[in-house]
Structure 1
Amino acid sequence: MKFPKVQLALVQMRDAGSKTASIAAATTWIERAAAEGAQVICLQELFATCYPCQAEDHTMFDLAESIPGPTTDALAELARRLEVVIVCPMFEKRAAGVYHNTVAVLDADGTIAGIYRKMHIPDDPLYYEKFYFTPGDAGQPRASVGPDKPNGFNVISTRYAKLGVGICWDQWYPEAARLFALAGADILLYPTAIGWIDEEKEEFGAGQLDAWMTSMRAHAIANGIFVGAPNRVGIEGRVEFWGNSFIVSPRGEVIAKANSADDAIVTAECSLEEMDVVRTHWPFLRDRRVDAYGDLTRRFID
């Protein structure tokens, strides 16, 4: 069945102090969003734990778990009961010594519709993710892709929409957004954990936030697609996560947005038929010179 209109909800919340408390808090928000008509509900990056990457600390690996595991089991039952799609970002232990920053997409019947493992891994002050996370897999034969065999930037099909799901640092890369769009995504989602560092906020804070939103609005425009980005909120260590979770139309208009301080649900109706209207008036996909882009696979053109 084709759903021409999809109610999208983003959950913006702070760390609740423990995995049990965070799952309970997320459950409350998901139930509220579902009661208000949401069909696809996306949580923030690493929603069930603190943001673990402010230091290189081996004890943080204890926060990770397998997929399926306790967190996906709990949210899968919730998805089945409410008949909603839940985008569940988490710290995944794939094997001994192999950990990922991962999203498990739980379909409206409680099954795992697909998995995405973060492809672009940052290494910045207080964001030491390369210490923790192995980059996601790319280059597997497409025939081998399935819920437990993610492959690069493939789209995840759910009851209500086809989702392209990146994670935080992925949101800065136009190549990733384009590949999700070309693979047939209806909605791009970027669960996020981004914020201000104390000593930088006064001078750079406004510009950082504006750049973050502008980058994803540009993805929406260039690809004629809906984009949603749920972000953490609250202060953890030296980082003030800036919230501002938002949903963007295929024209790049911000159609729903939270503030920088409060836990919140951000909701909007995504009329998927609008994508065709936008893409025929702004025919960027039609006019691509696919014969001339080979150098994009090079690190730098010397």
Structure 2
Amino acid sequence: MPRTLKVGLVQQAAWPDKARSLAETECGLHELAAQGAELILLQELHATHYFCQYEDPALFDLAEPLDGPTSQRLAALAAKLNIVLVGSLFERRAAGLYHNTAVVYDRQQGAVGHYRKMHIPDDPGFYEKFYFTPGDATPDSGFAPIDTSVGRLGVLVCWDQWYPEAARLMALAGAELLLYPTAIGWCLEDDPEEQQRQKEAWTLVQRAHGVANGLPVVVANRIGHEPDHSEVTSGIDFWGGSFICGPQGEMLALAGQETETLVVDLDMDRGEATRRIWPYLRDRRIDAYGDLIRRYRD
């Protein structure tokens, strides 16, 4: 009998009001749990607006410790709904030390692990280096999968999704699927053709990580227009487009640009079968990749 896992995700808008944002999240979780979802992914920073469009020291007040009120609410929901839940926090680790952190809650066990975003962007409208410190590059944090009752989860966050090294390291550590909570959208100043190129590249690169590692991929993005309160830009239209794909990049479920939940029965044995016919890990030339640890080959 194939080993199946019913996987879901919540695609939603979010607001500066945490109560409003989390209420929207909770509705999606109940909807997915009623359909039998065992593992549910939430988008990046789902409890607040995407505040990184501008730099404001007052916004550090949004941050919470790993066991703060938002985490406690998510843990309670995971226990009540009997699910494994991947949530997102703006984490206050210490004074002046903050992270963009994904936390995994396993049914009645509570929090069983977390992943601190490793790649931090700094682009117009995405000034994350002002707010977030990269995760520690250690064997038990860094690119380390999280063991749960439904399998070993390779959780990465948003900007991490552009880096094949991150997905590969998760696969090499035994991840059984890749999960990407994200917050990405269009700058309104870009023309429609450029916007479409960006979205297609975003979808393509993540599907390619699935192909290159023989793993299913689950991606949750946000939706809605969020203004730039500094008024330097016109804000961001988050494009949604959340999806679930199989280990050959096959699209299993795809969301539009509205509030939506997705749920899929994943055949968890397909990764093994795929790697038997496409044995990328066997054929890697690890003796020839030393220069990958260099910034550039001058």
Fold-level similarity (TM above 0.5): yes
Q: Counterpart amino acid of 2:293?
A: T
Task: Indicate yes or no: 2:112 matched with 1:113.
Answer: yes
Q: Counterpart amino acid of 2:53?
A: Q
Give the conservation status (yes or no) of the 8 Å contact 1:220–1:226. yes
Q: Deviations over 1:52-84 (max 9, x none)?
A: 100011111111101111011011111111110
Task: Indicate yes or no: 2:265 matched with 1:269.
Answer: yes
Q: Deviations over 1:172-210 (max 9, x none)?
A: 000000000111111100100000000114230110000
The residue aligned with 1:211 is: 201
Distance 2:267 2:21 in 1: 31
The residue aligned with 1:295 is: 291
The residue aligned with 2:253 is: 256
Task: Indicate yes or no: 2:236 matched with 1:246.
Answer: no
Change (3 A) 1:17 1:135: closer
The residue aligned with 2:80 is: 81
The residue aligned with 1:195 is: 185
Q: Counterpart amino acid of 1:89?
A: S
Distance 1:201 1:102 in 2: 32
The residue aligned with 1:148 is: none
Unaligned runs of 5+ in 1: 146-150
Q: Deviations over 1:81-121 (max 9, x none)?
A: 11101101111111000000001111112421101000000
Number of equivalences = 291
Q: How does 1:1-302 map to 2 (within 5 A)?
A: 4-139=3-138, 142=139, 145=140, 151-237=141-227, 238-260=235-257, 262-302=258-298
Q: Deviations over 1:237-273 (max 9, x none)?
A: 110000000011001111101002x100011111111
TM (norm. structure 1) is 0.94
Consecutive aligned runs of 4 or more in structure 1 exceeding 3 Å deviation: none
Query: Is the partner of 1:102 in helix, strand or coil?
Result: strand
Unaligned runs of 5+ in 2: 228-234
**Sequence identity percentage:** 51
